[in-house]
């Protein structure tokens, strides 16, 4: 019989996994506590708690276990420590890692551990063995969670060979050299931050980790010219501060679409900006400035030659497999093989290739807005809005509409909060290049856009009707 959780539901015994939580802040005098089978109190999801002193450091002489390699979840580690353990995973001398993103609620951590089945959990307080662990492949180095903060937990199993192939191809494309500095201001537990560390690893370096702060970042970059990965919001903030972007060796820009005006301004400010496209399943960015990295394959599943369609990706950077809860399964059509035996990832992204063969990502297929029977690609509309002189940042989403099914909504951060653009201004601007049905029917002006930890706009939040 499971223990009732905060909402009164019964949690099955199989889900009552052992995991560590820091209780600092609740009682300054209390020692951090870890769950144990016979602990004196019950925490979230029915997990029993005990103090760290009651749990011995769990070490294995070898990362290999029967059936494959051990998987260790990591939570709350300093990024420098995580980077060191990532290096061991890549070299095969340590367990594969399952990073639990910072800020993940305790109840969600319980779900992730129950579903993805690591054999141990490492926190700053030590290592706790977990029941029910299942090994990953012998070459596995990493399992990355991809389901966000809600939805059924799902992991992406990435091999060391895939991660290293991605990093080496990236380093070769931008011309990075041994001894170059790599600046990591993205979350270390996400694939974006992990790839910064992996690129540093293959060039014999360690990344310089810091939170994103304009003054700190510029000070650290002085004289070093580090390579850095940013999301568009961070690049805009550097431009707003009139930073000379030549202090960076390369700016790898990803995580969200970058409008042409932003790229032009950044390059005019001295930035060597390279746009990247990819996802966890491809070890991060695998297409740079529209051209695939060495070994990466791109195909468009279009109804007509040269037209837009689903983007398919292949090559040495692909995931090994999805990792799900026992009894659950990932989309069986996500990974396919063609007649020649080549593996392909069927993404949810819509794209096209131009006359030069460069890939243009138009948006997600599941984000296409169906308004009055017409299909609108949000990315095309947003590219126009972002060029309006009164718009600093923008996102285009579909919101429910009783008459049209969905209406096109422009969520905008104005350049001047005292003089935001009017809806009709933006509609006229869009109608100059796109059909009238693609023009926004709603304008939602915000001081800031809600963002996910990965640096991407929170589309789930933005699709909700304005309150």
pLDDT in tens, 156-201: 999 999 999 999 999 999 999 999 999 999 999 899 999 999 999 9
Rounded to 5°, the CA angle 202-166-186 comes to 80
Q: What percent of the chain has pLDDT over 90?
A: 63
Pick the CATH number of 161-361 from 1.10.10.10, 3.40.50.12780, 2.40.30.10, 1.10.3720.10: 3.40.50.12780
Mean pLDDT of 384-392: 93
What is the rounded CA–CA span in Å between residue 157 and residue 15? 21
Give the pLDDT of residue 176. Answer: 97
pLDDT beyond 80 at 45: no
Q: Which regions of 365-404 does DSSP assign to beta strands (E)?
A: 369-371, 374-376, 391-401
pLDDT score for 62: 66
Residues spanned by CATH 3.30.300.30 within the chain? 368-462
d(C-alpha 180, C-alpha 189), whole Å: 22
pLDDT at 147: 56
Q: How confident is the model over 328-370, as pLDDT tens digits?
A: 877 888 999 999 999 999 998 989 999 999 999 988 877 889 8
52 and 125 in contact (C-beta within 8 Å)? yes
Helix axes 191-202, 79-91, angle to 10 degrees: 60
Token couple for 160: 């060391």
- What is the average pLDDT score of the chain? 85
Which part of the chain is CATH 3.40.50.12780? 161-361
Q: Which residues contact 104 (CB under 8 A, 6 or more apart)?
A: 75, 112, 149
Query: For 51-55, 108-112, 120-124, 183-187, which range has the lowest pLDDT when averaged over its residues?
Result: 51-55
Other residues' Cβ atoms within 10 Å of the Cβ of residue 399: 19
Q: How confident is the model at residue 56 (pLDDT cuts 50, 70, 90)?
A: very low
* pLDDT mean over 258-282: 94
Residues 6 or more apart whose CB falls under 8 angstroms from that of 300 comprise 308, 309, 310, 311, 312, 351, 352, 353
Q: Please, which pLDDT band fits residue 57 given cuts at 50, 70 and 90?
A: very low
Pick 368-462's CATH classification: 3.30.300.30, 2.60.40.1730, 3.40.50.300, 3.30.70.100.
3.30.300.30
* Whole-number Å distance between alpha carbons of 308 and 8: 48
């Amino acid at each position: 019989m499971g223990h009732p959780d905060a909402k009164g539901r019964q949690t099955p015994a199989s889900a009552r996994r052992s995991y560590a939580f820091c209780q600092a802040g609740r009682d300054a005098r209390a020692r951090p506590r870890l769950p144990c089978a016979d602990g004196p109190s019950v925490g979230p999801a029915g997990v029993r708690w005990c103090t760290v002193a009651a749990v011995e450091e769990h070490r294995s002489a070898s990362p290999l276990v029967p059936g494959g390699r051990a998987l260790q979840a990591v939570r709350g580690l300093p990024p420098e420590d995580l980077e060191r353990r990532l290096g061991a995973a890549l070299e095969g001398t340590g367990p594969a890692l399952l990073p639990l993103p910072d800020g993940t609620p305790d109840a969600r951590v319980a779900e992730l551990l129950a579903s993805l089945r690591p054999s141990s959990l490492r926190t700053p307080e030590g290592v706790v063995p977990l029941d029910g662990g299942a090994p990953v492949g012998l070459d596995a180095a990493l399992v990355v969670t991809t389901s966000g903060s809600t939805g059924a937990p799902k992991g992406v199993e990435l091999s060391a060979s895939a991660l290293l192939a991605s990093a080496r191809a990236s380093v070769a494309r931008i011309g990075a050299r041994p001894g170059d500095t790599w600046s990591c201001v993205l979350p270390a537990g996400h694939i974006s931050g992990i790839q910064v560390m992996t690129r540093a690893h293959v060039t014999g370096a360690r990344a310089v980790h810091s939170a994103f702060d304009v003054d700190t970042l510029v000070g650290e970059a002085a004289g070093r010219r580090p390579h850095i990965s940013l999301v568009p919001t961070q690049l805009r903030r550097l431009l707003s501060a009139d930073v000379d972007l030549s202090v960076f060796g390369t700016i790898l820009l990803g995580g969200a679409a970058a409008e042409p005006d932003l790229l032009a301004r950044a390059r005019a400010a001295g930035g060597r900006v390279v746009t990247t496209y990819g996802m966890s399943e491809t070890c991060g960015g695998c297409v740079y400035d529209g051209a695939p990295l060495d070994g990466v394959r791109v195909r468009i599943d279009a109804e007509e030659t040269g037209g837009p369609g689903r983007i398919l990706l292949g090559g040495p950077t692909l995931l090994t497999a999805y990792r799900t809860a026992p009894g659950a399964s990932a989309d069986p059509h996500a990974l396919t093989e063609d007649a020649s035996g080549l593996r392909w990832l069927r993404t949810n992204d819509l794209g096209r290739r131009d006359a030069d063969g460069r890939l243009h990502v138009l948006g997600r297929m599941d984000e296409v807005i169906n308004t009055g029977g017409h299909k609108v690609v949000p990315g095309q509309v947003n590219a126009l809005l972002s060029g309006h002189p009164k718009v600093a940042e923008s996102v285009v989403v579909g919101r429910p509409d009783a008459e049209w099914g969905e209406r096109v909504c422009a969520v905008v951060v104005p350049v001047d909060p005292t003089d935001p653009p009017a809806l009709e201004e933006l509609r006229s601007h869009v109608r100059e290049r796109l059909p009238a049905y693609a023009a926004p029917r709603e304008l939602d002006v915000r001081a800031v856009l809600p963002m996910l930890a990965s640096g991407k706009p929170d589309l789930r939040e933005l699709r909700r009707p304005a309150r």
